[in-house]
Structure 1
Amino acid sequence: MHKVNNSYGLEVHPLRDALYAELHSRPFQVLPSPARISYLAVIVGPEQKRAEFEHFYSLYSSFSGTVPQEDGVCIEVDFGHFKIRRDKHLEFTSYMITHSQVDHSLGFFDQNALSCLPVDWLSTIPGTVLAAFHVAVEDARTVPEPDLTLVKSHFEGMRLVGSRPQNGDAQVWTTFQLHSDGCGRFLIYNKSMSDSQLGRMVQRVVEIETYRLMALLALPMARQYNAELVIMDEQLARTTASLSDSKETLDEQAILSELIDMAAWVEATRAKTSFRFSATRAYHELVLKRLNELKEDEVSGHLTVTEFMTRRLTPAVRTCNTAGTHLESLSTRIDRVSDMMRTQVEMSIQSQNQQLLTSMDRRSKIQLAMQHTVEGLSVAAISYYSVGLLKFLIEAVYDKGVNFDKSLVIGLSVPLVVGSVWLATRKIHKRFLLLAKAKEEK
């Protein structure tokens, strides 16, 4: 929050002025009748945006005009005999060139506004041109409308799409096709609109044509991936069927590897298509909104712009939406099958662990039996050597003159030694068991 220069000394938000300016950043144009208009929509990459502005800036070296100090969302410059308006959008930059000095001795599209610009400047615009078309505006209040045969000749004999927008205040003809000069064409007759109303209507027309092309950018991608998704669906169905077949021996490692490859492909495809499909939906909504704003009336025997668009554009957008939905569905299904596979692998591991524990228990029992046997043998061996040592001691005492029955004493010492060794071994065994139990309790 900070203060600005106002008569009340109020604290205002630092973005207030920018928010007010945002609503007026793209004003509608005021267009005269008659006029010749050319429109370009150029897709500009992030690395080309600065070069594109500098290229636009270079146009001032060819014509007198006020040089902009910095780049902006919308720049409109009047060079006297023509005007040029540059609009920056998220993915593209548009140029609308308006030429009001119409030579009626020429055909509607023989004279166009692009001829006002230097040829070398046009050919070096950074980016790739997606939309390029000419709009011929005639004043039906001073020049009578030509018959349909003459109108069709200006569109090189192609099938016409026409309507009376703004509740009949104008007449629009187009083909939504490229002509011999590589550009599209619109013919507009102004019957009773003011220059401001005409500017708004022309803006809607060029936006409809531009946004429908931007919306269709995803269609080739959707068709390509739809074909691949069908193959991926069949592969996933086979994998799922193999999991449900209890008679088949599964190569779990191979199936997991296959699922990982499929999941990686789906996620990579989603990353490639997510923005494009989302943009298609957004552009389609804008086209529908602009069509609704045209308020068209029918021309007998011809499709209106709205009818043509809803009949041709909407199915294409649905194809893109279907591809996006199919990707999301496939991703979810792969996750579910992967969970099933992981569960089956975990159950297999648990079964193996159970078998291992059973085998270990069996081996432990055998080792315990062997240990008892070894303990018995150990008692006998230790007792044997202990009695031998004790025998040496008894004989040494006897040789020193102590009179006793040497054989009897040696014989009586045997059970005593054996018993002592057995008790000592048991005590050591119990001690180790107590130590092991104490460690388990910890």
Structure 2
Amino acid sequence: MHPQRERLHNELHARPSIYFDEPATLHHYALLDEAGACEAVLARLVERTGAPPPVDAVQQILEVEGLTLKWERHTEFLTLTLLAPREPEETAWPLPPPLLETLVAGHEDQLIGVTQVLVASAHRWAGSAAAYGLRDPAGSRVGDGDAIVWSDFRLTEQGINRLLLVNQGLDAFRLGRMTRRLLEIETYRMMASLALPLAKELERELQVHEQELGELSERNAEGQAESSRPLLAALSSLSARLERSGARSRRRFSATEAYARIVFTRIEELRESRVGDSPGLGTFILRRFRPTVHFCASIHRRQQDLAESVARLNDLLRTRAQVEIEEQNAAMLASLNERTSSQLKIQKAVEGLSIIVISYYLFSLFKLGLQSLDALGVSIVPAVAAAVLGPLGLSIIGVLAWRIRRVKQH
């Protein structure tokens, strides 16, 4: 057996739902995993139960103080879902149990979602969503008509989003899965919307960057006499700022895309149908949520397109700089050729002068030698001396010229 076979197979049962019968109330908290919030909540939960979770556990269903609590850890957040049975005379929307408030105490700033689901039976509910304080609610039949879900998506003074589920034919298993879908829609919708403030901030930055890129493109197209070095410096600065902006937002936009897909999938799994003239629950969410997702996606595409445009302009400028360098090299080589030619001419002149000087020096020596012989009483006929010493001198001068040429060739 493969060592990971059992673990991989059990992923099918990794995140079970809480199964229950109505009437009941579900309190759902979602906390961002920041400032050690998740670790602190789980540590307090262990103190309450006295039983640490299994190693590598990402979720657990516990009985705490007579209530059913499920915690579930995700990549960026932790969720707490508390199931509380309802009494017939209980108020419609009870406050969250003190247990939840104790677990998240000190980390309220990390609460990204607080949702309350009131589950009532079809034969015992008040008969209208307005009776539960929901104003202009959206409602849908879900689960092929076996339940009706209502919500006005307005936060209470405590920041709680309320949903009313009227069960008409769901058993405990289907009811647990249905409420899980509803809670996941709300949680992932909020997690996906985390990118919206960042996208609005980046929109202003991108406008400045696009304007700057346009100016650099105009300078590159029209200012051919301008050196490419200042343009490359400005473009490098723009590219660095774009890279910093992309590094800051890339992970957030990717997470938004993934969370949005989950929301869309969970809404499809509701299998909705309309209730009277009320807007459908999924329709209401998508009509307002899709623009957020599309806006974030468009900002992400603008970032990528702008980065590609900067890269193309950078390539053009580098090509231009390379051409300028090649032209400078060609001019330098031409100057070297001219200098070498001048040096060769000077060298030839020096060689000629050297031969003339050496010739004069030789003939002077020959003359002194002949004068010395005449002083010693040896008379030499000038014609004979010229016939003998002339070819000898010319031979010596020829050998010297030949040696100079050989040295220059080497």
Among 154, 157, 164, the residue aligned to 1:187: 164
Q: Give 2:81's aligned amino acid.
A: M
Among 263, 268, 274, the residue aligned to 2:239: 263
Among 68, 72, 85, the residue aligned to 2:57: 72
Residue 79 of structure 2 corresponds to which residue in structure 1? 94
| Stretch deviating more after TM superposition (170-179 or 390-399) | 390-399
| Pairs within 5 Å for 1:4-19 | 12-19=1-8
> Does 2:175 correspond to 1:198?
yes
Q: Give 1:145's aligned amino acid.
A: A
1:89 deviates by: 0.9
Contact 1:52 1:126 in 2 (8 A): no
Q: Deviations over 1:231-287 (max 9, x none)?
A: 222222222222222x64223111011111122222222222222111111111110
Contact 1:161 1:303 in 2 (8 A): yes
Normalising by structure 1, we get a TM-score of 0.85
Among 378, 381, 396, the residue aligned to 1:420: 396
Match of 2:69, SS state, is strand
Contact 1:394 1:410 in 2 (8 A): no
Among 136, 141, 145, the residue aligned to 2:126: 145
> Does 2:213 correspond to 1:236?
yes
How many Å separate the matches in 1 of 2:377 and 2:10?
129
1:359 deviates by: 2.0
Contact 2:49 2:64 in 1 (8 A): no
Contact 1:38 1:97 in 2 (8 A): yes
Among 137, 146, 168, the residue aligned to 1:169: 146
Among 84, 87, 99, the residue aligned to 1:117: 99
Q: 1:332 to 1:355 in 2, by over 3 A?
A: same
1:127 deviates by: 7.9
Contact 1:173 1:188 in 2 (8 A): yes
Q: Deviations over 1:37-85 (max 9, x none)?
A: 1111111149665444323312225xxxx54343511111013521110
How many Å separate the matches in 2 of 1:184 and 1:428?
103
Among 213, 217, 238, the residue aligned to 2:194: 217
Among 85, 97, 108, the residue aligned to 2:92: 108
| Stretch deviating more after TM superposition (393-402 or 196-205) | 393-402
| Stretch deviating more after TM superposition (84-93 or 322-331) | 322-331
1:422 deviates by: 5.0
Among 113, 118, 132, the residue aligned to 1:136: 118
Normalising by structure 2, we get a TM-score of 0.91
Q: Deviations over 1:384-430 (max 9, x none)?
A: 33333444444444444432257984898578546633542343224
1:172 deviates by: 1.4
How many Å separate the matches in 1 of 2:141 and 2:241?
49
Contact 1:178 1:184 in 2 (8 A): yes
How many Å separate the matches in 2 of 1:395 and 1:47?
115
How many Å separate the matches in 2 of 1:304 and 1:135?
17
Q: 1:351 to 1:78 in 2, by over 3 A?
A: same
Q: Deviations over 1:332-384 (max 9, x none)?
A: 21111111111111111112222222222222222222221121112122223
Q: Matched residue pairs, number?
A: 410
Contact 2:129 2:150 in 1 (8 A): no
Match of 1:220, SS state, is helix
Residue 338 of structure 2 corresponds to which residue in structure 1? 362
Residue 28 of structure 2 corresponds to which residue in structure 1? 39
Among all aligned residue pairs of Structure 1 and Structure 2, give the percentage whose two residues are the same amino acid: 27
> Does 2:70 correspond to 1:85?
yes
1:104 deviates by: 3.9
Q: Deviations over 1:118-162 (max 9, x none)?
A: 744330459811111211111223x133334323x2x4xx44222
Contact 1:252 1:345 in 2 (8 A): yes
Among 38, 42, 47, the residue aligned to 1:53: 42
Q: 1:362 to 1:68 in 2, by over 3 A?
A: closer
How many Å separate the matches in 1 of 2:100 and 2:31?
17
> Does 2:288 correspond to 1:312?
yes
How many Å separate the matches in 2 of 1:183 and 1:46?
23
Contact 1:82 1:116 in 2 (8 A): no
